[in-house]
Amino acid sequence: MFRFITHARVLLFLFFLAATTSCNAGRDPLSDGATDGSRFRTPQGGGDEISASRQNAITKAVEMVSPAVVGVNATVVQRRYVDPFYRMFFGDQYSLMPVLGSGFIISADGYILTNDHVAGNAEEISVTMTNREKIPAKLIGTDPVTDLALLKIEVDHDLPFIKLGNSDDVIVGEWSIAFGNPFGLMSTSAKATVTVGVVSATHVSLDENEGRVYRNMIQTDAAINSGNSGGPLVNSLGEVIGINTVIYSPNQGSVGLGFALPMNRVKQIVAILKADGKVNREFNPGFRVQLVNEAIAQAYNLVRPEGAIVTQITARKGVAARSGLEVADVILKANGEPVYSISVLEGLIRYGLRGEDIELEVLRNNEKKKIDLKLE
């Protein structure tokens, strides 16, 4: 009897289960009874709201800046290596070499900034615009020391240009956006490549390279590769804070160490190049120094060997003599930077512009004093 009742209950349960399943056949188990797909339908205008939410300061800066970024195509004359034996008969041999870089328009009438190592020694220069147009460019002036070149293109209409920012106002950790023409991609796509990072450091000084003095550079981890040279480094307001110039890399690719010329120095050089075509740095420092060693440090009661001692004033009308620098002065700092090598002084003097001062902290007769080394 018990088995019969149990079997009856099982059959009744299966009957109700089958009826329920057949009633729900064809329905989406997640639709809560809705068969018109309304559960998954985007509310009116929702797509626009989602799209708008993706817009931010970075995308707005990219939209603002991109039309003024150009690819720079230069042809430079390069001396080829020739065996000394053949050079006696045929002389030096030269060849034309294409160079690809980046640049950006800084005025509606067609002035363009790029690096000297991109276009400074070029025989021919053209720029690729974002509308695929290639326009011949003229070299207005160049400054190899700061690695800056000013170009000009002639067009019959106003051009989009980028606002120049204040590099003294840069904040370490703020967004930085690098634009450019890596590996010449802009020549085919007519679109500037964009990479984003942060300002990693400011006031970075690098070793001189082929006569170029890189001081007060802005460091960024935004990816900068071969071909990005001369492109703008921009903040989240769409203002140029520097010009992408140097990378540290074992393979010509980005490893997160890129450096840009600070825009405030660039503005000073641009004004000179527009007026004169070159930067005149033919001032005579008029002194010689050697690094302080252990013996000199003991004689001057220094805790450790530091600074450079003036060994000779070489010109009565040189910069040093006019500024009051004397033999036996120990130069401890220059513009607030410790003089740990003679290259610090040499770099500051070569980087300087006519009329500028280099503030020296010197030790004379066991007293520290300030001397303004006026570059003129």
Say if residue 152 is exposed, middle or buried (CB neighbours under 10 Å; 0-12, 13-18, 19+): middle
Are the C-beta atoms of 259 and 217 separated by less than 8 Å?
Answer: yes
| pLDDT tens digits, one per residue of 222-259 | 998 888 899 999 999 999 999 999 987 666 666 778 99
Asked whether residue 23 carries a pLDDT value surpassing 70, the answer given is: no
pLDDT (mean) for 259-284: 94
Predicted local distance difference test score (pLDDT) of residue 286: 92
pLDDT at residue 99, rounded to an integer: 87
Q: What is the pLDDT of residue 90?
A: 61
Mean pLDDT of 351-372: 93
pLDDT in tens, 290-310: 999 999 999 999 999 999 999
pLDDT of residue 15: 44
Task: Name the CATH superfamily, with its identifier, for domain 287-374.
Answer: PDZ domain (2.30.42.10)
Please write the tens of the pLDDT for every residue from 333-342.
Answer: 999 999 999 9
Catalytic residues: 117, 147, 229
Q: What is the pLDDT of residue 83?
A: 65
Residue 359's alpha-carbon distances to 142, 186, 335, 337, 348, in angstroms, are 27, 44, 5, 10, 10
Radius of gyration of the chain (CA): 33
Confidence of residue 32 (pLDDT cuts 50, 70, 90): very low
What SS3 string covers the chain? CHHHHHHHHHHHHHHHHHHHHHHCCCCCCCCCCCCCCHHHCCCCCHHHHHHHHCCCHHHHHHHHHHHHEEEEEEEEEEEECCCHHHHHHHCCEEEEEEEEEEEEECCCCCEEEECHHHHCCEEEEEEECCCCCEEECEEEEEECCCCEEEEECCCCCCCCCCEECCHHHCCCCCEEEEEECHHHCHHHHCCCEEEEEEEEEEEECCCCECCECCCCEEEECCCCCCCCCCCEEECCCCEEEEEEEEECCCCCCCCCCEEEEEHHHHHHHHHHHHHHCCCCCCCCCCEEEEECCHHHHHHCCCCCCCCEEEEEECCCCCHHHHHCCCCCCEEEEECCEECCCHHHHHHHHHHCCCCCEEEEEEEECCEEEEEEEECC
- The per-residue pLDDT for range 312-335, each reduced to its tens digit, is 999 888 899 999 999 999 999 999
Share above pLDDT 70 across residues of the chain, in percent, rounded to a whole number: 79
In this structure, whether the domain defined by 48-279 belongs to CATH 2.40.10.120 is answered with: yes
- Burial per residue of 84-111, b for 16 or more beta-carbon CB atoms within 10 angstroms, e otherwise: eeeeeeeeeeeeeeebbbbbbbbeeebb
Q: How confident is the model at residue 26 (pLDDT cuts 50, 70, 90)?
A: very low
- The domain locations on the chain are 48-279, 287-374
Task: Please identify which residue in the block is written with the tokens 């400074």.
Answer: 120
Higher pLDDT pick, 146 / 8: 146
11 pLDDT more than 80:
no
Q: What's the pTM?
A: 0.79
The residue with greater pLDDT, 31 or 321, is: 321
d(CA 216, CA 201): 10
